């Protein structure tokens, strides 16, 4: 599919790596940016990254995208493999925003593409956008364009999973803080036993009672506060 895409985009160089970015947030809060990488063999999970977006840009998709691109391509990260193509969610406005950041960082030679959702969110009506304003229709089921769609979907899956984990952890942590009988010491013991705030939130009363110092009454209080 990379060869088909090279021909379609009239690229002068072989595609070695595609980086795809997606922003995920919960009602404008706790935003994260997911980065996934694909080469000609498929997913390169060692190059997957997650970025916590600053509160200033959380809920602002363009600001969030510019932030993550700037962080990814600053000097300390420039030794990492540079992608042949950057794929983002959105349209022309998003492409221009990303190009602006890359230009400010004096980075060129990276081809930019975006995908916008089709009307009525039908996947076959999604559009691939190039920087010169061309819109490539996915309804013809061309393999190279379908690959871009699959990369976009994987990026969305990755970013939304990480964002939900972050949100769940935050909710559970704040819920624990509000429980009358749970001080720092007990919270530390619970965290050590279950491994994460997320896992504490999933625990049953019986599971909670397995923790040293947590009796039936305390376990019941914790469970009721977290469910």
What is the structure's pLDDT at 169?
A: 58
Percent of the chain with pLDDT over 90: 49
CA–CA separation, 204 vs 144, rounded Å? 47
pLDDT at residue 159 tops 70: yes
Of 136, 78, 128, residue with least CA distance to 108? 78
Q: Helix, strand, or coil here: 94?
A: helix
Of 146, 125, 135, 223, residue with least CA distance to 181? 223
Of 66, 54, 67, residue with least CA distance to 25? 54
pLDDT tens-digit map of 100-142: 999 999 998 999 999 998 776 677 888 999 998 999 888 777 8
- Please enumerate in sequence order all residues whose Cβ is within 8 A of that of 157, keeping only pairs 6 or more positions apart, or say none: none
DSSP state of 35: E
Q: Helix, strand, or coil here: 136?
A: strand
Answer whether 163's CB lies under 8 Å from 30's CB. yes
Q: Helix, strand, or coil here: 104?
A: helix
Q: Which two tokens stand for residue 139?
A: 């309804």
Of 136, 142, 146, 143, residue with least CA distance to 113? 136
pLDDT tens-digit map of 170-209: 555 556 777 776 777 887 888 888 877 777 878 899 999 9
Answer whether 126's CB lies under 8 Å from 139's CB. no
Q: Which two tokens stand for residue 86?
A: 């950057």
Beta-ladder partners of 89: 115
Neighbours of 195 (CB within 10 A): 10
User: In order of start, what are the domains of the chain with their CATH numbers?
Assistant: 2-168 (3.30.420.340), 178-226 (1.10.150.20)
Q: What phi and psi values does residue 35 have, to the nearest 5 degrees?
A: -125, 120
pTM of the entire predicted model: 0.72
pLDDT tens-digit map of 32-91: 899 999 999 999 999 999 898 898 998 899 999 999 999 999 876 666 789 999 999 999
């Amino acid at each position: 599919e990379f060869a088909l895409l090279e021909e379609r985009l009239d690229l002068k160089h072989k595609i070695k790596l595609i980086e795809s970015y997606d922003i995920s947030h919960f009602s404008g809060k706790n935003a994260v940016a997911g980065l996934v990488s694909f080469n000609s063999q498929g997913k390169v999970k060692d190059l997957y990254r997650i970025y916590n977006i600053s509160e200033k840009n959380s809920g602002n998709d363009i600001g969030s995208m510019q932030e993550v691109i700037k962080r990814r391509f600053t000097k300390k990260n420039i030794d990492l493999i540079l992608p042949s193509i950057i794929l983002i969610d959105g349209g022309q406005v998003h492409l221009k925003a990303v190009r602006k950041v890359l230009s400010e960082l004096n980075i060129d030679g990276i081809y930019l593409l975006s995908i916008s959702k089709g009307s009525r969110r039908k996947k076959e009506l999604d559009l691939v956008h190039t920087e010169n304003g061309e819109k490539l229709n996915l309804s013809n089921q061309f393999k190279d364009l379908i690959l871009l769609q699959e990369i976009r979907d994987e990026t969305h899956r990755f970013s939304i999973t990480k964002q939900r984990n972050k949100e769940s952890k935050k909710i559970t942590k704040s819920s624990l803080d509000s429980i009358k009988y749970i001080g720092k010491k007990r919270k530390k013991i619970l965290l050590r036993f279950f491994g994460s705030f997320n896992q504490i939130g999933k625990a049953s009363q019986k599971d909670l009672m397995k923790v040293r110092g947590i009796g039936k009454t305390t376990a019941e209080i914790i469970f009721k506060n977290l469910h």
